[in-house]
Every structure is written in structure tokens, then in C-alpha cells.
């Protein structure tokens, strides 16, 4: 039986990207508001069609020395071209990008997870230093 951690994919493909790219400062001051943007398909766009899309992005922060991470936010993407007229007939398409802000007094690791309806779960991470 698989565990959830074993279901995360790690190797992206050349024609599309799934791993969330995390844009955040390398170092922040204690208590300073930190803005994080996690984007899927930043370098090479990911498809955003009814039949193939990113459903959601979650952002977590794991403070150094703590056992569990904190979920900072979850953003769901609902517009993938479907409309009352059928598949891919809409002109409205969401872009898989999530922006959140938080404060911390500890260094740690930022994690971003994404879910592709065809290719499953993906994860990116980035260290955060606190002065």
C-alpha cells in the first residue's frame, strides 16, 4: 500500500511544468510580513483546458525545530474553459498562481504543492532565513 508522500511526482517534463516555483525573499526580518507567490508553469506554461489543468495549489511553512508545518493557504482554480455551451467554449481561464502573506520569527522551509488532474501531485520547496 502506498503512502501519500510516495505519490508526489518529482521529474518535470520538457513540454510542460508541474512543480510549483516559489517566489519569496531569501531572508526576512523577524515579524516582517512575507509575501509568497507559487506559480505552476512559470518557465513553460502548463495546459489549462477542461481536460488538463492545475486544480489547486497549497502553501505550507515548516519552522525550523518544529514537528509539523503550518498551512498558509490553499487556492483552488475553477475556470478551465468549460461553460454551459460545452468543453473549452468559455473565454475565462484561471492562471495557476497563488499569492499569500505571513509573518514568522523562525527560519524554515516553504513548501508549495500542486495538483494536476492528469499527472497528480507535485511539490516545490525553498528555504527561508530570518534575521
Residue whose grid cell is 512543480: 19
Return the CA Rg of the chain.
Answer: 16
- What is the grid cell recorded at 4? 501519500
- Which entry of 32, 95, 119, 131 is annotated as an active-site residue? 119
Side-by-side strand order, sheet with 21-23: 21-23, 34-39, 97-102
43 is catalytic: no
- What is the grid cell recorded at 66? 518544529
- Which entry of 3, 18, 113, 129 is annotated as an active-site residue? 18
- Taking the CB of residue 98, how many other CB atoms lie within 10 A of it? 24
95 is catalytic: no
- Which entry of 53, 80, 113, 116 is annotated as an active-site residue? 116
53 is catalytic: no
80 is catalytic: no
What are the Cα distances from residue 45, in Å, to 41, 107, 117, 131? Answer: 4, 31, 15, 35
- Which entry of 3, 5, 14, 17 is annotated as an active-site residue? 17
52 is catalytic: yes
113 is catalytic: no
- Which entry of 29, 42, 46, 66 is annotated as an active-site residue? 46
Q: Which residues are catalytic?
A: 16-18, 46, 52, 116, 119
Amino acid at each position: 500500500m502506498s503512502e501519500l508522500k510516495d505519490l508526489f511526482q518529482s521529474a518535470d517534463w520538457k513540454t510542460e511544468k508541474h512543480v510549483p516555483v516559489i517566489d519569496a525573499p531569501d531572508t526576512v526580518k523577524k515579524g516582517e510580513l512575507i509575501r509568497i507567490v507559487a506559480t505552476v508553469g512559470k518557465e513553460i506554461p502548463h495546459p489549462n483546458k477542461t481536460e488538463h489543468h492545475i486544480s489547486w495549489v497549497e502553501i505550507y511553512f515548516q519552522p525550523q525545530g518544529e514537528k509539523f508545518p503550518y498551512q498558509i493557504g490553499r487556492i483552488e482554480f475553477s475556470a478551465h474553459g468549460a461553460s454551459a455551451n460545452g468543453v473549452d467554449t468559455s473565454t475565462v481561464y484561471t492562471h495557476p498562481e497563488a499569492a499569500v502573506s505571513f509573518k514568522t520569527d523562525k527560519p524554515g522551509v516553504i513548501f508549495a504543492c500542486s495538483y494536476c488532474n492528469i499527472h497528480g501531485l507535485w511539490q516545490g520547496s525553498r528555504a527561508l532565513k530570518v534575521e
